[in-house]
């Protein structure tokens, strides 16, 4: 099973909230080194898919494999240890903790403590603003800075697979560009990315492949270029 | 003047015990928004653990230096009380984590009743008040007309040291950071690779062991009985609310305020029986004018 070369394999995933089925048996895969994007409207199930990968929403049917390892019985905090770093929708920063404390918490599972200093440096190099504000309470940061902190925190977990849920949400257009370039740089440095976005145009610009989710099903899949030129995608997600 | 100094010392002594117990209420509330009404009875159990252990040690290992007996007794009481609190959390509260909050509160009240009545029915304990063996020989110093006992000093100093240590744990350690993170957003904490259930257990353990510091100290100065946890628990709970529930330093401040209420009520009012009236009135007035408590921050709307 691990012979397919995928970092992440999702097979026939079914997830429900109570009696409401959110995902009706979807399959995706992510290869090492890729940026794969999931696009779709609000409520299509994009966030649910990320949440079930990181184990905070239980799956009902199907399988999720990370490097061939079945994640079904693995609790969320252990999935982080296996290399999945999830930046949740709405950022999920701890507003009552300082920037440094937020970053430090994300190193809970790190065993290679000797590498931590280099990783802090890396985060501060990617996001110099965080360095300036490191002793401030995270709640006092601007929206863009909070997003930087959320991504920086995910990097500090040392994950191989970065799940990003709407990183552009609530950001000014110039910041959206900036965060997309940052994601590309993080990917270039060796982290695989699964990017959920409503801003399909921006996402497809940096992704190599994409999936279109519609009401809990995969409606379309293909390379970023194919999707960008697809009439349905153009009409529904790229503003015609 | 001496009278007031004397009463202030007494208030600090009583208040430090309330503060130690209030910390457990406030920490559990902070991370689970659960008012653990069994906490006063957990404090009562810690007194009995100290009582039985010290009785045993003094009879079996007679001749140990008092300081060793005192420290050992406190550590053993902290350990077993923490263990009890963790077991209660796992068996009684954890299954209700997603249930309506009222279910957990009623369960906590039930656990409290269970502990009280178990101790009454349990033959070696029974309903009668008990004296703990003298851990440290009582010495009373007379300083300018103010009577100060060495036990009083030990109670106040050890309590303050315990509170400083707890404050450092919460502010400076990774576990403390994780606790504060859970109090803000417990759904994101697992995404940091942090086992939330283990942090919750640790919080109960920490809250119970600091109550056991109070329990051991309390037993050195007062009699203990199976129902003692009710009144003391209520007073500690009021302390936590007065200080701002969920706020560590607030609980400490609230504990000392309630200590002053207890000691100074009979000074200004005809009888000490008015003390509950004063304490609850203070709570009500505070809830009207500052519902978040003295050091509590107003609830921030999370987006």
Least confident of B140-149, B160-169, B267-276: B267-276
Average pLDDT for residues A57-66, to the nearest whole number? Answer: 95
Over chain B, what is the mean pLDDT?
94
* pLDDT tens digit sequence for B31-82: 999 999 999 999 999 999 999 999 999 999 888 899 999 999 999 999 999 9
* pLDDT tens digit sequence for B70-103: 999 999 999 999 999 999 999 999 999 989 989 9
Average pLDDT for residues B127-152, to the nearest whole number? Answer: 93
Give Cα separations from A201 to A44, A127, A225, B149, B248 (angstroms).
17, 24, 11, 76, 48
* pLDDT of the residue at B303: 34
Cβ-based neighbours of B125, under 8 Å, separated by 6 or more: B48, B119, B226
The C-alpha atoms of residue B133 and residue B92 are separated, in whole angstroms, by 34
Confidence class of residue A3 from pLDDT cuts 50, 70 and 90? low
Confidence class of residue B301 from pLDDT cuts 50, 70 and 90? very low
Spell out which residues of chain B touch residue A88, defining contact as CB-CB under 8 Å. Answer: 187-188, 191
Which of B185, B193, B196 is closest, CB to CB, to A157? B193
Measured between CB atoms, does A89 come within 8 Å of chain B?
A: no
The C-alpha atoms of residue B160 and residue B16 are separated, in whole angstroms, by 7
A109/B178 Cβ within 8 A:
no
* pLDDT of the residue at A240: 62
Measured between CB atoms, does A56 come within 8 Å of chain B?
A: yes
Evaluate if residue B300 carries a pLDDT over 60.
no
Buried b (16+ CB within 10 A) or exposed e, B135-168: beeeeeeeeeebebbebbebbbebbeebbeebee
* pLDDT of the residue at B1: 84
Enter the tokens of residue A77: 């905090």
Q: For every residue of B37-78, which 3-state class applies, written as one string? A: CCHHHHHHHHHHHHHHHHHHHHHHCCCCCHHHHHHHHHHHHH
* pLDDT tens digit sequence for A143-176: 999 999 999 999 999 999 999 999 998 888 898 9
Evaluate if residue A125 carries a pLDDT over 70.
yes
Name the pairing type of β-strands A209-214 and A217-223: antiparallel
Domain ranges of chain B: 17-226
Residue to substitute from A76, A95, A169, interface B, most B β-carbons within 10 A: A76
- Confirm whether the ipTM is greater than 0.90: yes
pTM: 0.93
Evaluate if residue B299 carries a pLDDT over 60.
no
Measured between CB atoms, does A139 come within 8 Å of chain B?
A: yes
């Amino acid at each position: 099973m691990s012979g397919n070369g995928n970092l992440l394999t999702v097979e026939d995933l079914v997830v429900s909230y109570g009696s409401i089925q959110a995902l009706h048996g979807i399959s995706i895969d992510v290869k090492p080194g890729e940026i794969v994007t999931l696009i779709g409207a609000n409520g299509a199930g994009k966030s649910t898919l990320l949440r079930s990968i990181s184990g905070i929403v239980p799956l009902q049917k199907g399988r999720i494999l990370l490097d061939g390892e079945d994640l079904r019985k693995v609790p969320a905090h252990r999935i982080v240890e296996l290399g999945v770093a999830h930046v949740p929708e709405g950022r999920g920063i701890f507003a009552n903790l300082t920037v440094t404390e937020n970053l430090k918490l994300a190193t809970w599972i790190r065993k290679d403590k000797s590498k931590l200093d280099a990783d802090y440096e890396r985060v501060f190099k990617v996001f110099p603003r965080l360095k300036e504000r490191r002793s401030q309470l995270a709640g006092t940061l601007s929206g863009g800075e909070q997003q930087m902190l959320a991504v920086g925190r995910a990097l500090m977990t040392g994950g191989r697979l970065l799940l990003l849920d709407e990183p552009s949400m609530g950001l000014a257009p110039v910041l959206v560009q900036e965060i997309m370039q940052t994601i590309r740089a993080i990917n270039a440095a060796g982290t695989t990315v699964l990017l959920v976005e409503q801003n399909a145009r921006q996402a497809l610009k940096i992704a190599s492949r994409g999936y279109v989710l519609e009401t809990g099903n995969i409606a379309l899949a293909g390379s970023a270029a194919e999707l960008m030129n697809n009439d349905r995608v153009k009409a529904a997600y790229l503003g015609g | 003047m001496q009278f007031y100094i004397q009463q202030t010392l007494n208030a600090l002594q009583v208040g430090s015990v309330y503060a130690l117990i209030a910390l457990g209420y406030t920490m559990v509330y902070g991370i689970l928004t659960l008012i653990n009404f069994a906490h006063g009875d957990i404090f009562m159990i810690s007194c009995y653990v100290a009582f039985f252990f010290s009785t045993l040690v003094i009879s079996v290992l007679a001749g140990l230096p008092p300081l060793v007996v005192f420290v050992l007794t406190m550590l053993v009481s902290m350990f077993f009380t923490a263990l009890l609190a963790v077991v209660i959390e796992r068996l009684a509260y954890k299954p209700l984590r997603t249930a309506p909050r009222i279910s957990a509160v009623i369960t906590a009240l039930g656990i409290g009743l269970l502990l009280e009545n178990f101790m009454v029915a349990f033959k070696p304990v029974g309903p009668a008040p008990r004296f703990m063996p003298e851990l440290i020989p009582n010495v009373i110093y007379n300083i300018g007309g103010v009577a100060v006992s060495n036990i009083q000093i030990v109670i106040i100093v050890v309590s303050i040291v315990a509170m400083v240590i707890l404050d450092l744990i919460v502010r400076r350690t990774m576990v403390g950071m994780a606790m504060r993170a859970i109090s803000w957003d417990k759904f994101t904490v697992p995404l940091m690779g942090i086992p939330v259930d283990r942090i919750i257990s640790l919080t109960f353990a920490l809250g119970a062991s600091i109550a056991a510091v109070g329990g051991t100290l309390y037993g050195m100065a007062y009699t203990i009985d199976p129902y003692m946890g009710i009144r003391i628990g209520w007073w500690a709970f009021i302390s936590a609310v007065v200080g701002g529930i969920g706020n560590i330093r607030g609980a400490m401040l609230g504990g000392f305020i309630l200590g002053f209420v207890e000691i100074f009520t009979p000074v200004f009012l005809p009888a000490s029986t008015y003390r509950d009236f004063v304490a609850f009135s203070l709570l009500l007035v505070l809830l009207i004018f500052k519902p978040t408590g003295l050091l509590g921050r107003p609830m921030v709307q999370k987006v």
